[in-house]
Amino acid sequence: MAHIRLHEVSIDFPVFTSRSRGLLNTMLGLPQREKARVEASGLRRVSVHALRDVSLQLNPGDRVGLVGANGAGKTTLLRVLSGVYEPMQGECSFQGKIAALTDIMLGMDADATGYDNIIMRGIVMGLTRRQAMELIPSVESFTQLGEHLQLPVRTYSQGMLLRLAFAVSTSVVPDILLMDEMIGAGDAKFFSQAQGRINGLIEKVSILVLASHNELILRSFCNRALVLKEGRVVFDGGVEDALAFHNAQQGVTP
C-alpha cells in the first residue's frame, strides 16, 4: 500500500563565502526573521536551513497541497519526497512508485533523437528498456511531432521539447504523484490536452502532493494542505483552514 512517512527531516544547504554571516546577511538583505535560517559554521561557510524538523504521513487517498510564500521550503520538500535530496537529519519511508513532474527534462540528451529520448527518459523514470520502448506509440500520438522524433532534440523549439518531455513523463501512472504548480506546455490546444492528461493522472494515483500558489487549483484537487514557513510545517489540516491560516500569516484580508 502506497505511503510516505517523514520523521523530523531537516535539510541544510551549505553556502561558501569569504566573509562572515553578518556580511552575507547584509549582501542578501535578509530580514531579521530570516536570519535564523542562516548559521555560520566557519570563516568560509554558512548553512541555510531549507527544511527543519518536518514530520508527516501521507496515505492512500491523500491529495495534499503545499502552501507557503516563495522560499518557504515547498520545492525542497518535493525534492525530498522524490528522492532527489537525502535528509541530513531524520528518517524517510516510502512505499509505491513515485513520479515527480518537477523536472520533466531529467534524463534527456540534446544530441539524441526524440525516439532515443523517449527511451532514456523512460529508463530514468524506472522503466526497463523494453517498457520504455512500449511508450513510443502513445508519445507519437500525443505529441504529433511526426518525423521530428527522428531528429536530435536540439533542433526542437522550446514548445516541441516540452511536449515530448511532458508526454513521456505522464505516460505511466504512478502510485504517488508530485507536482510543483500545474504544467503548461506549448500552444493553447496542447495546453488543453496537457491539462486533461494531468487531470486524468491525478484521478488514478493513490497519493498526490501539489505545490501551488493558486488557491482555485488547491481547492479543486486537494483534500488536505500543509502550510510551510521558513522550512517548517506550521499548519496541517483542511484546505480552507490552511488557506485561511496562510492568508492571515501574510496579512491578506479575506
- The reported pLDDT for the residue numbered 196 is 85
Residue 249's CB is within 10 A of a number of other CB atoms, namely 15
- The reported pLDDT for the residue numbered 61 is 95
- The reported pLDDT for the residue numbered 162 is 87
- The reported pLDDT for the residue numbered 113 is 97
Cell numbers representing residue 196 in the block: 486533461
Residue 93 CA to residue 47 CA, distance in Å, equals 26
Cell numbers representing residue 166 in the block: 511532458
Spell out the residues 6+ positions from residue 229 whose beta carbon is closer than 8 angstroms to its own.
68, 69, 72, 249
* 3-state SS assignment for residue 21: helix
Strand partners of residue 228: 233
For residue 158, with 0-12 CB atoms within 10 Å meaning exposed, 13-18 middle and 19 or more buried, which class applies? Answer: exposed
51 DSSP assignment: E
- The reported pLDDT for the residue numbered 78 is 93
- The reported pLDDT for the residue numbered 25 is 54
* Domains of the chain as residue ranges with CATH: 3-96+211-250 (3.40.50.300), 104-174+184-201 (3.40.50.300)
Residue numbers in the chain where pLDDT is lower than 70: 15-46, 182-188, 253-254
Q: Among candidates 116, 132, 203, 206, which has minimal Cα distance to 171? A: 132
- The reported pLDDT for the residue numbered 100 is 87
- The reported pLDDT for the residue numbered 43 is 46
- The reported pLDDT for the residue numbered 183 is 60
- The reported pLDDT for the residue numbered 106 is 79
Cell numbers representing residue 133 in the block: 520502448
